Amino acid sequence: MAPLGKIYSYPNNFRVARAQALAALNGLEIEVAQDFQMGVTNRSPEFLSKFPLGKVPAFESADGSFFLTEGQAIARYVAESGPNAGQLVGEDAQTRALIEQWSCFAEQEVASQATPPLLMTLYKIIPFDEAHYGQCVAAVERAAKAVEAHLADGKQYLVADRLTLADVMVVGVFQVATKFIIDNEMRKDLPKFEAYLKRVLEVPEMKAAFGPLELCETRVKG
């Protein structure tokens, strides 16, 4: 199978894993650039001629005619590009809108809030700020509780009764947060949320992209 295209990014980027999971779910293949160096490759004239902002992940089509950045846009493009697009992105306007709503939620309510604590604690790229850390953790908890409430009536997935782009987007970022923010204490109030993450990550294509769910006992801090 010829790959749909190539994606450029640093290692262990959950946005790349989401694209890989979606490709597998959609009968597609995406090549991941093996020689990418953050701060080097994405500052080169060749890279910037295709992706002027130097952002990653960055996607280049197999024929070199199409270039795309922003993880959410790349995920949607991959989801819409294969034979299972109807399932992944929805077959009617309302379903597509609900899937897009959860995709935005994943980026705006979860990823944006989980990233600063990640950079403060695990990566230590920015100084630890107690107040900012607390605000971000509270926001992540609020988002997790929103998913818990949504699943309260027995839903197995976020939209309709099958796996969609919404689940890949949401689980893709929460499985990062469970490694260092969403600890045992927080999960006491999130039984359906935890079961949902485990269920989705047992889907073979998801498991291949993300691995098993990792749950921290105590929140990483400082």
Token pair 């160096």 in the structure block, residue: 37
> Residue 160 is encoded by which pair of tokens?
């309709």
215 touches 178 (CB < 8 A)? yes
102 touches 45 (CB < 8 A)? no
The predicted structure's pLDDT at residue 24 = 98
Per-residue pLDDT tens digits for 104-117: 999 999 999 999 99
Per-residue pLDDT tens digits for 93-140: 999 999 999 999 999 999 999 999 999 999 999 999 999 999 999 999
Instruction: Give CA–CA dist 146/208, Å, rounded.
Output: 27
Q: Write the class of the CATH domain 90-210.
A: mainly alpha
Domain boundaries, the chain: 5-86, 90-210
The predicted structure's pLDDT at residue 23 = 98
If DSSP codes are grouped into helix, strand and coil, which group holds residue 158? Answer: coil
CATH number given to 5-86: 3.40.30.10
